[in-house]
């Protein structure tokens, strides 16, 4: 039975889609059969971040309607072996997706893949609930600003209310100089959100560059982020990889 992981944050633009794509790619690179699902119904963009410019016309609503099977709809990634992608519907909103039917689909995904990573939309509304319900693990993505960390705390509480008791934190877009100025360190960030740290991602210009060149980040060779994401993937699979001690690394 596979592990179902939701990547989320209440606040928009913290890096959920970037982290979903990178972690799913990393899991596949390590040999795990991984499904990456866009749950940002109506505002989907995970396909672009994965470098899938010729994405399939099918999406998960075609499976929910009974028209298609999961395995014929999940698209194998042309460059990253073992990585599959399932598109979100473009037109409807999350309210139009029946939660019961989506829960059944999640069970099926768990049976067919080692890991299922779902990219949740911004906000803590219907789309968040659709993506998060029944997850084995919730990954909360924040940036190192106080407002984002506080939002992460709220997200952790909402996940707990949905029964997702296992949570991890990713602090994204860390720029050591800015952190020194703000006097924030890693323990404060973890305490604020109340979730164990999965890892830290540097501010890395190769992340938007890869998207603009329509290349998947983990095949593009992101400068700092590649190794940071691979460390997180190893932690997710149970390896003991030491965590960075302080966000304020010099």
Residues interacting with Mg ion, by CB under 5 A?
16-17
Closest to ligand ATP by CB, 110 vs 225, is 225
Do the bridges between strand 137-142 and strand 3-8 make them parallel or antiparallel, or are there none, so unpaired? parallel
Closest to ligand ATP by CB, 30 vs 122, is 122
- By CB under 6 A, is residue 203 in contact with ligand ATP? yes
Q: What are the backbone angles phi and psi of residue 241, rounded to the nearest 5°?
A: -115, 120
Q: What six digits make up the tokens of 223?
A: 């400068």
- Span from 92-100, 151-159, 189-197, 201-209 in contact with ligand ATP (CB under 6 A): 201-209
Judged by beta carbon distances under 5 to 8 A according to partner kind, the member of ligand ATP, Mg ion, none in contact with residue 203 is ligand ATP
Judged by beta carbon distances under 5 to 8 A according to partner kind, the member of ligand ATP, Mg ion, none in contact with residue 18 is ligand ATP
d(CA 51, CA 220): 10
Judged by beta carbon distances under 5 to 8 A according to partner kind, the member of Mg ion, ligand ATP, none in contact with residue 15 is ligand ATP
Q: H helices of the chain, where? A: 16-29, 46-49, 60-64, 70-73, 99-112, 126-132, 146-161, 176-182, 186-193, 206-212, 217-220, 225-236
Q: What minimum distance in Å lies between the beta carbon of 152 and ligand ATP?
A: 12
Closest to Mg ion by CB, 17 vs 142, is 17
**197 and 186 Cβ atoms separated by less than 8 Å:** yes
For ligand ATP, which residue of 24, 28, 186, 211 counts as binding (CB under 6 A)?
A: 211
Non-local CB neighbours of 148 within 8 Å, separated by 6+ positions: 9, 11, 14, 142
Q: What minimum distance in Å lies between the beta carbon of 208 and Mg ion?
A: 13
Q: What six digits make up the tokens of 123?
A: 């906000």
Judged by beta carbon distances under 5 to 8 A according to partner kind, the member of Mg ion, ligand ATP, none in contact with residue 30 is none
For ligand ATP, which residue of 3, 18, 142, 153 counts as binding (CB under 6 A)?
A: 18
Q: What six digits make up the tokens of 239?
A: 């390896």
């Amino acid at each position: 039975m596979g592990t179902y992981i939701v990547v989320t944050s209440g606040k928009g633009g913290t890096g959920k889609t970037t982290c979903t794509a990178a972690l799913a790619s990393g899991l596949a690179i390590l040999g795990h059969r991984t499904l990456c699902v866009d749950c940002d119904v109506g505002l989907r963009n995970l396909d672009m971040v994965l470098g899938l410019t010729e994405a399939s016309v099918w999406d998960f609503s075609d499976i929910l309607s009974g028209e298609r099977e999961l395995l014929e709809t999940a698209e194998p990634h042309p460059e990253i072996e073992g990585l599959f992608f399932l598109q979100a519907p473009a037109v409807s909103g999350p309210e139009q997706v029946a939660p019961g039917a989506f829960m059944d689909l999640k069970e099926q995904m768990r049976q067919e893949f080692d890991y299922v990573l779902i990219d949740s939309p911004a906000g803590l509304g219907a789309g968040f609930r659709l993506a998060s319900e029944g997850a084995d693990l919730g990954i909360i993505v924040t940036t190192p600003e106080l407002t984002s960390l506080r939002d992460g705390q709220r997200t952790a509480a909402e996940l707990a209310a949905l029964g997702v008791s296992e949570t991890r934190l990713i602090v994204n877009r860390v720029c050591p100089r800015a952190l020194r100025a703000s006097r924030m360190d890693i323990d404060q960030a973890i305490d604020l959100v109340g979730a164990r740290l999965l890892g830290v991602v540097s501010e890395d210009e190769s992340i938007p560059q890869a998207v603009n060149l329509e290349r998947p980040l983990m095949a593009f060779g992101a400068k700092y982020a590649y190794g940071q994401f691979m460390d997180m993937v190893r932690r997710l699979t149970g390896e003991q990889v030491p965590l960075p001690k302080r966000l304020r690394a010099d």
